[in-house]
Structure 1
Amino acid sequence: MVYRMGGIFYNVYIKKEKIYKVDYKSDRILPILLITIEYIAILIAEKLSLIIQNNMPYTAGKFYIPDIFFYIVIPSIYIFFVSHTKVNERFIFFWETMQRTFYAVLYSEIFCIIALYVFKSSNYLSRSYIVIFFMISFLSLYLFRQLLVKTCNRLNILKTPVIFVGNGKATEDIIYFTNHNNCFGIKVVDIVEEIEDINQLRKNIISKIEQLNVKTVIIAIPNLEKNKLLDLVEDIQPLVRNLMFVPNTIGIPVINLEVKKLYESNMLLLSIKNNLAKKTNRRIKRIFDILFSLLTIVIIIPLSVIVIILIMIESPGAAPIFKHYRVGRGGILFPCYKFRSMVPNAQEKLQEYLKNNPEAKMEWDKYFKLRNDPRITKIGKIIRKTSIDELPQFINVLKGEMSWVGPRPIIEDEIHYYGKYIKDYYAVLPGITGMWQVNGRSNTEYKERVSLDVWYVRNWSIWIDIALICKTIKTVFCGKGAY
């Protein structure tokens, strides 16, 4: 089967000719393998932390951890909290894995400190070691897990066998998600096509479950009537280990959605949080912006000096940094700083070029960018390709006019493209990077840009910001979609 998703083709191969019983050894192997990997990751983190601690200047004596704590107590606590925070779930974004790993490490460290005090072993504690071990154990656990995920997916092993009910877009999206988010994937064993006759559909599903011995079924029909869905759930649930279904919540922000269970009424109450509506979260985002700016300033300033010199050599007399007014939070215009990547008379040259080139005019109207822009200088092509031209915007971040992560800053002529969603844009600071920059950049049509900006505003969390910065670095190095 070939599915078209988001402008790309994705293949799902299902053997229809011959039915194979599913081997469930992988379901038993994976938990053991994960525990083993986590144990090794913690031991390595402990050892590295000890080496760093004992080689720090002004360390009074050699710090050590008794074997019982080093090999048994500390790893056991960490493995418990990794399981408790559900780090190894299959249907989560990679940044959620990062978030859950962070909390698992945080809870583990607190519990380890308490345990050492309870067992009167507090003399083994060192404040510097606690900080060092926190950072290294977080990186070690996360990286070891990602390495295991990538290895398993590359070798196509340890994937959960799944029968899908419904052959529409929901099925396509789930398959695509599990294979593109650094999580343990799924093996599509079969897809039961949706039909009107619910009794026949139920028989088809049960027949596939019995033939294939599959223990996970996903009903991917969001618009299925409630009574029909209940009938399917009642008959299928006793036959499988995991039964999942896609509720009709398409279009609703789901990242910050919480499920409240009303047991007596047998109902679910869905709660949607607007994180950026809270002053505390806006302050956290602002603090993150300032700290990240200060951390990266040692890279930004030397690189900026080099770029300024090169621009002055190529375009003598022209200011190396220019400001262009963009629409900020609340619709207020602000001067957005960039390195000069165009010739001084850029606007006049653009109008003349568009007038003489109808195809370029169509491209400009669609993307607000040109692949072969006659205004761009030689140095400009390099700094735009690598996004270095946007480095001066860290000044806007420090001034509070922009954020490191947010919607792409727009000009006044672009406001009408947002329509009713312009309120979402006005609600936050525009960003140096964001969803648009890591999802195609210049190749993304404007309608998609708007939907990406709206998604970000409605689903914001600090972990999404961290993840987008990491993905931006990868995208910039690959030079994907930039011109």
Structure 2
Amino acid sequence: MFKLYFDNFQNYGMMNLRSFLRFLILLLVDLLSIYLANYLSILFRLFLGVINVIVFPDNFPYLIGPFWPSWIWVIFLSLMAFYRLYTSTYTFWEELRRIINVGFFSFLLIMAISYIGRWYGFDTRFFLGLTSLFFIPISITIRTIVKYFLYRFDFFSYRAVLLVDSKDSLKIVSKALKSNKFLLIHIKSIVLLRNFNDDEIERVVSRVNNSRVNNSRVNSLKNIDVVVISLENVPEEFLSKVVSKLHSVVKKTYFIPNIGELPLLNSEMLFVMSHDLPFILIRNNLLQPTNKLIKRSFDILFSLFALILFLPVLVILSLLIVLESPGWPIYKARRIGKGGNEFACYKLRSMYKDADERLKEILASDPLKREEWEKYRKLKDDPRITKIGKFIRKLSLDELPQFFNVIKGEMSVVGPRAVTREEIEKYYRDEGRYYYYLVTPGITGLWQVSGRNEKDYDFRVKTDIWYVENWSFWLDIVIILKTIPAVVKSEGAY
């Protein structure tokens, strides 16, 4: 008995040690990020000539991060703690969102406090605030590198027991955890439920708690931090009991509810304590006028910037297209937009002028090509495409003129893929058609960054529905950021 208590004490002590070391490592990472962000802002000031490099002693406090006023360090670290970036783990994109919030609010606080206190001149206040903006990319970069090694070095990861009632759940949850290493969760043991009774609960708890059942050791596990529960068909009473039991054994329990395809990305949990009743608030963000204004404003500003940036590229590509295949370099494809209205979708012409006739001949003579076209609405090694067309399609440069569609309000930067009337009638059933008509199609979208042409059409429709149901401005930002590596790698493009 004494040895059992001693073992449990050792286990909890080891878990607390790992938690403390994780906290300490992340704290040091953030201190380094703040220092580097400060140093980068100083270099920026030197570059602009705000600081005189020759008078080094007078500027020494500005050049060395630790000589900063202590309240600035407190602001950064307090905000990181407020957003639970030391005590909880998140996916990469969620952690990035929280770090952006830290950078934004630290900028506002530094500017406001230094202004109210009448400390420093405007230029110094501004560059102190600029440190907050530099902090964002530096922090997420260093945290990504450090978390990679924390995950690889097993001692610092969260050791988990996975509790499932089917092999399908096991496969899905295991894949999700392995693909999100930022969570730092390692599955150390799997418990596949056989029955839903009290004996089964004791078996589960014994696996987690490293206790003894009938004086025999049952698959003992040491230093378990979390339990991940994914149960599809389980009685409510059994679930309540097993969660209650595990709650007293481990610090954290992740519960994956079986709620189908509900749009939960922007959901919020409300709880009525007097009736022990939870409410899940599900928002349709795209129906809110403020969000519509934000999305439209972003579309216009982003498109203007993109057109100015890529105008020389558009001119050069247009000349190359005309040289290889005489004719107008811009192709107007008839596509369906918001509300089911048809519009002319601009594209750089990547095919020969008689492309439609060539397609009819291919589909009539080649059954395999016809089957591929029916499934994907695209063809690999398409003979209709010109040499320059293959290049611009591979890098998605043929879609650059669509920024003009965005300015006109016919398209958005991010949204469902623009499709034809035929595709709407054939692939988009009632639900899919409703959600597609609800928004303007996008230049990029969730389907494009999810393997695009390598996925079948049903997957495209599902991603369109999921995007509309779960839309947020941050989701658009994530898709844009994911588009960059997808285009560079030419993932699924042909």
| Aligned counterpart, 1:53 | 45
Q: Distance in 2 between matches of 1:119 and 1:57?
A: 26
Amino acid at match of 1:310: L
Residues 339 and 389, structure 1, Cα contact 8 Å, conserved in 2: yes
| Aligned counterpart, 2:173 | 174
CA gap of 1:376–1:104, structure 2 versus 1, over 3 A, is: same
| Aligned counterpart, 2:3 | none
Amino acid at match of 2:351: M
CA gap of 1:114–1:312, structure 2 versus 1, over 3 A, is: closer
Q: Distance in 1 between matches of 2:435 and 2:424?
A: 12
Q: Which residue among 284, 295, 307 is the counterpart of 1:274?
A: 284
Q: Distance in 2 between matches of 1:432 and 1:188?
A: 39
Amino acid at match of 2:174: I
Residues 146 and 182, structure 1, Cα contact 8 Å, conserved in 2: no
What is the deviation of 1:335? Answer: 0.4
Residues 95 and 464, structure 1, Cα contact 8 Å, conserved in 2: no
Alignment pair present for 1:220 and 2:212: no
Amino acid at match of 1:381: K
CA gap of 1:84–1:396, structure 2 versus 1, over 3 A, is: same
Q: Distance in 2 between matches of 1:306 and 1:171?
A: 52
CA gap of 1:125–1:378, structure 2 versus 1, over 3 A, is: closer
Structure-to-structure mapping, 1:323-362, within 5 angstroms: 323-362=332-371
| Aligned counterpart, 2:25 | 33
- TM-score, length-normalised on structure 1? 0.89
Q: Distance in 2 between matches of 1:439 and 1:408?
A: 12
Amino acid at match of 1:458: E
| Aligned counterpart, 1:285 | 295
Alignment pair present for 1:319 and 2:328: yes
CA gap of 1:309–1:118, structure 2 versus 1, over 3 A, is: closer
| Aligned counterpart, 1:74 | 72
Residues 95 and 463, structure 1, Cα contact 8 Å, conserved in 2: no
- 65-74 or 295-304, larger mean C-alpha shift: 65-74
Alignment pair present for 1:475 and 2:486: yes
| Aligned counterpart, 1:418 | 428
CA gap of 1:69–1:120, structure 2 versus 1, over 3 A, is: farther
Residues 327 and 333, structure 1, Cα contact 8 Å, conserved in 2: yes
CA gap of 1:156–1:68, structure 2 versus 1, over 3 A, is: closer
Residues 285 and 472, structure 2, Cα contact 8 Å, conserved in 1: yes
Q: Distance in 2 between matches of 1:227 and 1:32?
A: 40
Structure-to-structure mapping, 1:389-400, within 5 angstroms: 389-400=398-409
Q: Distance in 2 between matches of 1:263 and 1:366?
A: 51
Q: Distance in 1 between matches of 2:50 and 2:452?
A: 49
Q: Distance in 2 between matches of 1:348 and 1:124?
A: 66
CA gap of 1:41–1:68, structure 2 versus 1, over 3 A, is: closer
SS at match of 1:42: helix
Q: Distance in 2 between matches of 1:122 and 1:158?
A: 42
SS at match of 2:271: strand
Residues 331 and 426, structure 1, Cα contact 8 Å, conserved in 2: yes
| Aligned counterpart, 2:213 | none
Residues 90 and 183, structure 1, Cα contact 8 Å, conserved in 2: no
CA gap of 1:263–1:197, structure 2 versus 1, over 3 A, is: closer
- 86-95 or 446-455, larger mean C-alpha shift: 86-95
Q: Which residue among 124, 127, 130 is the counterpart of 1:129?
A: 127
Structure-to-structure mapping, 1:101-112, within 5 angstroms: 101-112=99-110
| Aligned counterpart, 1:138 | 136
Q: Distance in 1 between matches of 2:379 and 2:468?
A: 27
Q: Distance in 1 between matches of 2:308 and 2:473?
A: 23
Q: Distance in 1 between matches of 2:367 and 2:378?
A: 14
Alignment pair present for 1:436 and 2:447: yes
Q: Which residue among 139, 159, 166 is the counterpart of 2:157?
A: 159
- 319-328 or 65-74, larger mean C-alpha shift: 65-74
Alignment pair present for 1:445 and 2:456: yes
What is the deviation of 1:146? Answer: 1.8
Q: Distance in 2 between matches of 1:481 and 1:71?
A: 51
Residues 27 and 86, structure 2, Cα contact 8 Å, conserved in 1: no
Q: Distance in 2 between matches of 1:118 and 1:286?
A: 35
What is the deviation of 1:190? Answer: 0.6
Q: Distance in 2 between matches of 1:88 and 1:296?
A: 37
Q: Distance in 2 between matches of 1:159 and 1:238?
A: 21
| Aligned counterpart, 1:8 | none
What is the deviation of 1:337? Answer: 0.6
SS at match of 2:22: helix
Residues 276 and 460, structure 1, Cα contact 8 Å, conserved in 2: yes
What is the deviation of 1:262? Answer: 1.8
Alignment pair present for 1:369 and 2:378: yes
Percent identity for Structure 1 against Structure 2: 33
Q: Distance in 2 between matches of 1:218 and 1:155?
A: 21
CA gap of 1:75–1:228, structure 2 versus 1, over 3 A, is: same
Alignment pair present for 1:97 and 2:95: yes
- Kindly provide the CA deviation profile for residues 73-117 of structure 1, in whole angstroms up to 9, marking residues without a partner as x: 322221111121134676644222222111112222333345445
Residues 34 and 131, structure 2, Cα contact 8 Å, conserved in 1: no
- Kindly provide the CA deviation profile for residues 457-481 of structure 1, in whole angstroms up to 9, marking residues without a partner as x: 1111111111111111101111111
| Aligned counterpart, 1:201 | 200
| Aligned counterpart, 1:12 | none
Amino acid at match of 1:112: I
What is the deviation of 1:124? Answer: 7.3
SS at match of 1:196: coil
Q: Which residue among 252, 264, 267 is the counterpart of 1:242?
A: 252
| Aligned counterpart, 1:264 | 274
- 164-173 or 73-82, larger mean C-alpha shift: 164-173
Q: Distance in 2 between matches of 1:456 and 1:90?
A: 27
SS at match of 1:183: helix
SS at match of 1:389: helix
SS at match of 1:212: coil
Amino acid at match of 2:108: I
- TM-score, length-normalised on structure 2? 0.87
Q: Distance in 2 between matches of 1:457 and 1:356?
A: 39
Residues 425 and 454, structure 1, Cα contact 8 Å, conserved in 2: yes
| Aligned counterpart, 2:475 | 464
Q: Distance in 2 between matches of 1:379 and 1:67?
A: 52
Q: Distance in 2 between matches of 1:115 and 1:189?
A: 48
Q: Distance in 2 between matches of 1:68 and 1:121?
A: 18
- 141-150 or 86-95, larger mean C-alpha shift: 86-95
